A and B are shown apart, each in its own frame.
Chain A
Amino acid sequence: VKRQPNRLPADARHGLGGAEIDRGRPLAFRLNGRSYEAFAGDTVLSALLAAGVDGAGFYGAEAIALDERFAPPVAPARAASDPVQAMPMDRTPVVAGLDLRTLGPLQGRLPLSGIAARVAGLVAPRSTTLGHRFDEPRALLGPWLELPAATTLDADTIVVGAGLAGMSAALAAADAGGRVILVERRLMTGGDARFFGTVGDEDSPETLVTRLSEKIARTPSITLLTGTDATSLAGARLMVHQVRVNDGALQSRNLALRAPRIVLATGTGERLPVFPGNRLPAVAGAVAAFHRADRYGVWAGSSALFAMPHSFGYRLALLAADAGITVQRAADSRINPQSRFVDFCKASGITLASGQIVRIAEAAGKGSRRLSVGFANNVGEDGRDTASIETDLLVAAGGWQPRLALWLMAGGASAWDGRRHWLGPQGSLEAVALAGSAAGYRSSTACIASGAQAVATLLGREPAPVEDIEVDAIYESRDDTTSIAPWRAGRIAWLDRGMSFTARPPRRDDPTVPASLQHLSLGDVAASVELKTIPPADAGAIAEERCVGGGDIADSGWRVPAAAAPPSLSPPYLHGRFGPRPQLAVVAATDGRFFEAGCLLYPSSTSADPAAAIGAIVGPAPDGRPGGLAAANRAALAAAASLFVRDTSGAVAVSVVDKEKKKPAKPA
């Protein structure tokens, strides 16, 4: 497949040829005027990665990778300005005849459309980056987030996430009776179970996913919505955005889902190791790299370096080596890690390096797509540098962070878990429960059990206890923290993938908050705790304040309601100022000017001390007459030989032209 250089062969071992794609059904589509080849089953993102497009664009001078957590939205080229038709490329399946454009500002050039885009696509050299500019914080925001729901669907239980825990929860809820909506962001079920593999003698993830998926397909009370991302949760209302193929055409729409019970089986996200160059194209997380290969048969280049704080990456290194990739080194931040996969890698001849972390990644040369990756010994800021290695792909694995954004939106709490090095959920909610790895479980067995447990809890039933399986540390070393490279001047190290673009503070010991505070992700907060710029005790509260998002904000037309009654002439804030019973009097100047409320009344033209004022204008004179209505100290007004109101032109002589006879009303 000439134009898909990053596609693994169809017969790659372990199924890394791509389980989702049908190589017997090639497709072609256009993006930004250029044509790309793909297979049925591809998403726009997987097809681009297969074609060698691995750059999303630039943040300042830094190249930014195109990946599952960071890709510009796309829209049909003929309707690129219509937010209703915008879609995320990781959830947009390739269908025949697609002609799309990416949305957002471009680096150094204006977006082209129509024939101009096609001509540019033909004559321009094939680029490996989409060339967008992300310095503008809104550049990547999905336009669909601002749209109203196309329709509302009601159910008895909503489950978010169709991994093992989510599917288990959906089946448990269906067994309990009632309608269930199961929402999955990806186009397939199974979550990240296939990446994590098994613990002990568990069934294989593939077996478990197939078994649960088939049960769900056979359960009519469960509606599975794939390609559907949950964007906000308030009360019993979950907003989701769905991309689906309808009569051969793509459809993008928001849905409002309502249910009295919601299970969040949103899984865990992989943290980004902190080192300069950590978001360059050709740097990928372990889960993303596995998913691309396993589902779509995509792997960038023929050589790879692995850097990881846990043993899951070794399994991926083994799979990649078996699929024909040259694994140059598997570096582990742990000293002498123990795992059966470490042993397998040793036996396979893969070079292992323990106690090492990535120090820096940079382009191997000007214009080179290869990376030069430097390592350092994992001993904190004093880690000694080791020689750099050139590679096609750096698989930089991080630790884990439960995806708790919806939990926080629902009012859930979180706190830093120093043992597991993540922000974990705290407490419970009446109508929302967590399940699976979002709730902190690790093994497949525990995740499946926790789905049923979550449903039982929401139904008010006695939940069965969930027992996680954990291999003894003698045989399976515990996960390390996400690595943080020694500080390096003048180089940007991002704290998380995604849209927040929070960077490591530019000075080693100065956690000064940048002038433009932006959205923070949970990964940003977790990294900041480990960088010691956020105290652990504060992390939960900061996550609750800064990581929820809650949608965009715009003037909705709300205005201050009109006052039902005119303002009081004796408001509380003037009470006692001019005696217990101030005299209301109309005062006027000879030039017919009008006085503004608040102007002060003095017995002398030289007085300017507000404390010496004997009255103040409290409203306009009646019947539109000039001057103003003053409230004044009765005795002082009677004794004053002359009167002056101070306005913008100074002391203006006035006279009393009318007095109110009756007592002023008590303060309203």
Chain B
Amino acid sequence: MAETGYDVAVCGSSPFAMLLAGQLATLHGKRVCLVGDPWSPYRLARRVDLSVMPATRPETWSLLKAGGAETLKLLGGIGRGLFERVDPLFVAETPAEVNYLGHMRWMAAGFGFAAERAVDRAITATGAICRIRDAAMLVGGKAEPALEAWLGKSGIRRAALQHATLTARRDGTASLTLDGQAVEAATVVLADDAAILAHLPPAERHRLLGVLPATSLLTDPAKPLGAALIHYLDRGVTLHQRGTKGSIAAIAGGEPETATARIAAGFAGQGTLRRSGQTQFRTIETTDGAPFIGRTGKSRWLLVAGLGMSAAFLAPAVARLLAGTPGDDEARWFAARDPGKAAQRPAIAESIGAAATEPQP
């Protein structure tokens, strides 16, 4: 622990980063600062935060089940209406993804999630749809300000990215300059994609981590979609509609040239929609589709990547990892997803196509 300064500097602005920082401070007694730009109500969404995600590994579903319940309890104590219940649809259109979706559905069902096969020819005529009932999703626009208020009450120092400088040391600690004041941080966590891109030099990026373009698009209010949230596995597209006649927020990973067409393919029956915003940004993806949690690079800072749309719901487990108090299952899950144990990576892969990156000798 640093004599002066912070035990943990959490870098990031996502709900996961905020929940992680808040839990480290409130449940684990750590001195925490959060380095990241404050939430802005008018920026376009970079993610959805859902309690379930595409995954086929039983240990991951086990973690999601426990993490979901724990996170909802935590959110309930922070404020009202911070999450809502939704029945997301996961859609597969190629045989390989249809198989993946089948494995995901039976795995979710095996852990007690209400996962069922759905049919909606307007969404896919030849593919497969998995509906998971009663999943929880953070309410964008309500959850973030409530979390920020909670962090403030929890005594967590908040520093905007432009007012903070991190200087790494080789032992994983860092010197921070926050608003012109120099302090120490015993541990630095790069807790979301934007933080990794902002603070980790490309040369230090682990070979399992790739940078991909992504597109976020917002339409004006539209007719109801088939569900409040639809995630197309093959297209790399997530559509979210708030309310039955609300705007549609779309996030498409992958090449920007086809992003609009891939997104619009989910608008069959909507006619022409007015685009009220669009932007491109970058995401961090793991080459094997599996989460990546561990210290890497010369700085030895802790990176958290690849948690997908359920990152916020895994925050309690990551907080315990950082506090040194993970449960046995959690410890095994994190150990397997530590980049320092790359030999184990194939056994946790989540991709359908390319093989998991083989460990280098």
Chain A interfacial positions (CB closer than 8 Å to B): 137-138, 141, 146, 511-513, 515-520, 525, 528, 533-535, 537-538, 541-542, 544-560, 562-563, 566-568, 571-577, 596-600, 608-611, 613, 616-619, 646, 666-668
Contact = CB atoms under 8 A, between A and B. Distances in A.
Nearest to A557: B265
Interface stretch (B3-11, B92-100, B186-194, B319-327): B92-100
6 contacts: A519-B220, A538-B43, A545-B278, A551-B275, A576-B348, A611-B62
A555 B264 contact: yes
**Most chain-B Cβ atoms within 10 A of its Cβ — which of A141, A617, A667?**
A667
B162 A544 contact: no
Nearest to B346: A575
A571 B42 contact: no
A151 to B, nearest CB: 23
Interface of B: 37-38, 40-44, 56-59, 61-62, 93-96, 98-107, 110-111, 117, 141-142, 160, 162, 216-221, 234-235, 242-243, 245-247, 258, 260-268, 270-279, 288-289, 346-356
B234 A560 contact: yes
A541 B194 CA distance: 15
Given A519-B274, A549-B275, A558 B40 contact: no
Nearest to A563: B94
B265 A559 contact: yes
Nearest to B59: A611
B60 to A, nearest CB: 11
Contacts of A525: 42
A519 B40 contact: no
B181 to A, nearest CB: 20
A516 B246 contact: yes
Contact of A554 (B59, B272, B277): B272
A574 B288 CA distance: 12
Nearest to A573: B56
A138 B220 contact: yes
A153 to B, nearest CB: 25
Contact of B264 (A138, A547, A556, A567): A556
Contacts of A563: 94-96
B220 A572 contact: no
Given A534-B40, A598-B104, A571 B352 contact: yes
A137 B43 CA distance: 20
A105 to B, nearest CB: 14
B220 A553 contact: no
Contacts of A138: 220, 272, 274
A668 B247 contact: no
A517 B249 CA distance: 9
Contact of A146 (B37, B42, B272): B272
Where chain A touches its partner, the secondary structure class is loop
B354 A572 contact: yes
Top 3 A-B pairs, shortest CB-CB distance: A598-B102, A576-B347, A610-B110
Contact of A553 (B110, B263, B355): B263
A613 B261 CA distance: 40
B218 A517 contact: yes
Contact of A611 (B58, B220, B235, B270): B58
Nearest to B247: A517
Nearest to A619: B99
Given A558-B261, A610-B110, A619-B99, 20 more contacts: A137-B221, A512-B41, A512-B141, A517-B247, A535-B40, A541-B43, A546-B218, A548-B278, A555-B264, A560-B234, A562-B94, A563-B95, A567-B352, A572-B354, A572-B355, A573-B57, A575-B355, A576-B346, A600-B106, A616-B106
A23 to B, nearest CB: 41
A563 B96 CA distance: 8
A558 B59 CA distance: 36
A553 B354 contact: no
Nearest to A566: B95
Contact of B274 (A552, A613, A646): A552
B271 to A, nearest CB: 7
Contacts of A533: 41
**Most chain-B Cβ atoms within 10 A of its Cβ — which of A575, A617, A619?**
A575
Nearest to B140: A513
Contacts of B111: 610
A542 B39 CA distance: 12
A597 B96 CA distance: 10
A637 B42 CA distance: 56
Contact of A667 (B61, B104, B107, B356): B356
B355 A668 contact: yes
B277 A519 contact: yes
B42 A520 contact: yes
A545 to B, nearest CB: 4
Contacts of B354: 572
B295 to A, nearest CB: 24
Contacts of B103: 573-574, 597-598, 616
Nearest to B345: A575
Contacts of B288: 572
A547 B44 CA distance: 12
A572 B346 contact: yes
A561 to B, nearest CB: 8
Contacts of B117: 596
B75 to A, nearest CB: 18
A597 B102 CA distance: 5
Contacts of B271: 554
Contacts of B346: 572, 575-576, 667
Given A556-B264, A596-B102, A598-B99, A515 B272 contact: no
Given A516-B220, A542-B42, A571 B267 contact: no
B96 A571 contact: yes
B270 A554 contact: yes
Contacts of A546: 42, 44, 218, 276-277
A545 B43 contact: yes
B94 A560 contact: yes
A336 to B, nearest CB: 37
Contact of A528 (B42, B243, B263): B42
Contacts of B220: 137-138, 516, 518-519
A542 B276 contact: no
Nearest to A609: B110
A667 B110 CA distance: 25
A667 B349 CA distance: 11
B356 A575 contact: yes
A516 B223 CA distance: 12
A387 to B, nearest CB: 38
A231 to B, nearest CB: 13
Contacts of A555: 264-268, 270
A617 to B, nearest CB: 8
Contacts of B275: 519, 549-553
A568 B265 contact: no
**Most chain-A Cβ atoms within 10 A of its Cβ — which of B61, B98, B104, B274?**
B274
Nearest to B260: A553
Nearest to A546: B277
A609 B58 CA distance: 9
B276 A519 contact: yes
A520 B94 CA distance: 38
A542 B352 contact: no
A515 B218 CA distance: 13
Contacts of A574: 56, 103
A573 B286 CA distance: 13
A613 B110 CA distance: 10
A567 B96 contact: yes
A553 B277 contact: no
A401 to B, nearest CB: 16
A211 B211 CA distance: 55
A610 B355 contact: no
B289 A573 contact: yes
Contact of B95 (A534, A550, A567): A567
**Most chain-B Cβ atoms within 10 A of its Cβ — which of A544, A572, A619?**
A572
B106 to A, nearest CB: 4
B141 A538 contact: no
A332 B235 CA distance: 56
